[in-house]
Amino acid sequence: MKKFFNTLAACSLVFATWVSNCLATNIDEVICNAMRGMQAQEEKKIPYNIGSYELVGIDVDCNKKALTTEKKHLELSLSDFTADFKTNSIRNWKNANCKNMIFNTDTGWSTTQIIKDVNENLVLKLEANFGICSQ
């Protein structure tokens, strides 16, 4: 009887692990498909203006579980950005993206935004993921 329960426990553990892996794969596929769909829609409009910026790139990498967007300021050079720009941008980016279930849950997905000046110099790189959102 003890051997039966040990075998049953081992089978249950294997089954639970298999179910967990299947669910994770399905969730990843759902997120990936949604992200790719959004990317396809946005790419049709690129480049387009968003306030003082122009969205110039969007990329979904399902293997890395990453969404990356790139925007360029329409007027400001690197030296024109205010001293508190980085602090304010990080706070705003975190507030906006950490409300999203994909990034505030431990799905492994992240979103990165690359901000460049009018001359395409890197101003700031912002990221949101579970680690950042759970702080």
Classify domain 2-133 by CATH architecture. Answer: 2-Layer Sandwich (3.30)
Q: What is the CA radius of gyration of the chain?
A: 21
CA 8 remoteness from chain centre: 40
* Cβ-contact 59, 110 below 8 angstroms: no
- From first to last of the 135 residues of the chain, give the pLDDT tens digit: 344 333 333 333 333 444 444 445 688 888 899 889 989 998 898 888 889 999 999 999 999 999 999 999 999 999 999 989 999 998 888 888 888 888 888 889 999 999 999 999 999 999 988 988 888
